[in-house]
Structure 1
Amino acid sequence: MTAKLPSQVSRTSRLYEVMDLMLDSVGDPLGLSGLAASASYSSFHFDRIFRELTGFSAVEYQRKRRLRRAAHQLRHEPDVPIVRIAQDCGFPSNAAFAKAFKQQFAMSAKAWREGGWRAYMDQQVGRESDVSFFVAEPGNLDVILAPYCAPEPGTVAARIEVRMLPAVALRYQRFFGQSGAALSIACHTVICEGERLHGIAPGAPWYGVFDEDPGFTGEDEYCYDFGHAGGAADASLGMRVLPAGAYACLDFRHEWPRFRSMYEDWLDRQATWRLDSTRPHIQQVERDCAGQWRGWLALPVKKR
């Protein structure tokens, strides 16, 4: 990674903070002027540099995040009325929500809830975009490039344990519009440079964070954070706190399981837990003494 100038680091850090504010305030009416002011920019300048960083205007970016939050709730909270979900996700009227949802997902919210989400997801993850936050070695990418293959029924569910995870302060590098092999190589580079330049010990844990369901997010809209807990300050990295709470955890060793298998083999088949769309998906990875990868996937859940 090319080193950033101090002015670039400061600008990027401020934009990260605004993006996190947008995510935490999906249901609030955040206008462009307010977002710009929170980053100490004029509206025009803020929108320009936000578009440079993400490929979207700030208003469009927030609209897409609201719609994906609604898509998650429609799938995982079937008892919540559509009009309530529209309100919770910041839409002023059900009509405005219905129009925006159909523009984004090419179907109505009702059709999505009744199973349309599956066809949409299959289309999205039919490429290499079913990221479960791999950090495979650049010379061993076959597992990432391989198409998704559903596990034998019950084999993943038998390994899942719901745990209360503590909050983690994370220093991270943020990636946009990367998935599959490109994202894997980028994360591997972050690890190598962290160990070489910042004294992070080999075998230290690293965290991958995705705030939305990977199956509902187009490749060019991916926003993925990867980094380490605490350690020496690095001005080029962002800072966020991974929230504590209940997570369905799948431990792995010398393999790369996918979040999709956790959804399909466990989450959709039990009656106690449902996805908590207000908290992120998390992966922890580390090398063992033989240099092999191990870690866990954590799916945020709440009681039904």
Structure 2
Amino acid sequence: MTVKAPSRVSRLYEVMDLMLDSVGDPLALDGLAASASYSSFHFDRIFRELTGFSAVEYQRKRRLRRAAHQLRHEPDVPIVRIAQDCGFPSNAAFAKAFKQQFAMSAKAWREGGWRAYMDQQVGRESDVSFFVAEPGNLDVILAPYCPPEPGSIAARIALRNLPAVTLRYQRFFGQSGAALSIACNTFICERERLDGIAHGAPWYGVFDEDPGFTGESEYCYDFGHTGEASDGSLGMRVLPAGTYACLDFRHEWPRFRSMYEDWLDRQSVWRFDSTRPHIQKVERDEAGLWRGALALPIKKR
């Protein structure tokens, strides 16, 4: 199969991934624009058209969400250290930006304010990105989140060292729930036709941040396969190897939120690793029904 050269959009995906990998470093817009073959002016315009935000604002929000993750999951790390690691020049600048984004101080957030933010500001839309249900069977996506029976999800968690995976993907911005599910299903049908992907092949959904802290307009969700691509419109990224807490499922759609609340928050050995993405792997079984696993990145405390 002949693969065309990467499109400018896919190169922009690569730039965004570089921004995520260097979230604590100064933002060099000229260099980022050049790497995507844009002038600085056109880079910012195209970036805004694609994401809804300027590159500067997009990186600022990602820095703040990274800090929010660390404040929740790494309570022993000083706030000033988190501010520095997330690219803020001073604690005062971080404190001002954090309060503007989350309507509370970093200290209040760490002490439990994150839960109120998740429930009140984001709500159930905070964890519906990880579904690929068929368009005619969206009831599970539209249903509100129901906490699992205590211990029922924790009993199913398996710790695995997953290998690196090279993914060809489409990036979706500002979509969640049924709209995102239908978009992913449409993408599957298109790539099966264009790339010859087998009907039972695995598909991967990837989210780089805690879904509970990201509103719908700021969602950035990658969905794709591990095969070849017939054109240059798809991005390419490597899902990193490492230790993940995995939840296998079959003919159901569990949520990452249940893994956080029924397992991660209730044990003392592992913590969330904000440097690696959440991963959902799905595939059709012999009957055409979905099965797969949720993989939550973790590290030792």
Task: Tell me, yes or no, if the aligned pair for 1:105 and 1:120 is still in contact at 8 Å.
Answer: yes
Residue of structure 2 aligned with 1:251, choices 248, 254, 258? 248
Greater CA deviation, 277-286 or 123-132? 123-132
Task: Tell me, yes or no, if the aligned pair for 1:204 and 1:286 is still in contact at 8 Å.
Answer: yes
The 5-angstrom pairing of residues 20-59 of structure 1 reads 20-59=17-56
Q: What is the count of residue pairs matched by the alignment? A: 298
Q: What residue in structure 1 maps to residue 283 of structure 2?
A: 286
> Is 1:181 equivalent to 2:178 in the alignment?
yes
Distance in 2, Cα, partners of 1:214 & 1:78: 19
Distance in 2, Cα, partners of 1:51 & 1:117: 28
> Is 1:82 equivalent to 2:79 in the alignment?
yes
CA offsets 1:129-185 (integer angstroms, 9 cap, x no match): 412510000011000000000000000000001100000000000000000000000
> Is 1:70 equivalent to 2:70 in the alignment?
no
Q: Which gives a bigger RCO, structure 1 or 2 (Cα 8 Å, sep 6+)?
A: 2
C-alpha displacement of 1:41? 2.0
Report percent identity of matched pairs. Answer: 89
> Is 1:171 equivalent to 2:168 in the alignment?
yes
CA offsets 1:242-280 (integer angstroms, 9 cap, x no match): 000000000000000000000000000001100000000
> Is 1:196 equivalent to 2:193 in the alignment?
yes
Q: What residue in structure 2 maps to residue 108 of structure 1?
A: 105
Aligned residue identity for 2:24: G
The 5-angstrom pairing of residues 198-217 of structure 1 reads 198-217=195-214
Distance in 2, Cα, partners of 1:303 & 1:234: 41
Distance in 2, Cα, partners of 1:231 & 1:18: 21
Distance in 1, Cα, partners of 2:296 & 2:231: 28
Unaligned runs of 5+ in 2: none
| Inter-CA distance 78–154: structure 2 relative to 1 (3 Å threshold) | same
| Inter-CA distance 299–124: structure 2 relative to 1 (3 Å threshold) | farther
Q: Secondary structure at the match of 1:126?
A: helix
| Inter-CA distance 141–125: structure 2 relative to 1 (3 Å threshold) | farther
CA RMSD of aligned residues (A): 1.3
Residue of structure 2 aligned with 1:156, choices 153, 156, 162? 153
Task: Tell me, yes or no, if the aligned pair for 2:129 and 2:181 is still in contact at 8 Å.
Answer: no
Aligned residue identity for 2:169: Y
Distance in 2, Cα, partners of 1:193 & 1:41: 29
Distance in 1, Cα, partners of 2:146 & 2:219: 22
Superposition TM-score, scaled by structure 1 size:
0.95
Q: What residue in structure 2 maps to residue 241 of structure 1?
A: 238
Distance in 2, Cα, partners of 1:246 & 1:127: 28
Greater CA deviation, 72-81 or 129-138? 129-138
CA offsets 1:206-232 (integer angstroms, 9 cap, x no match): 000000011100100000000001334
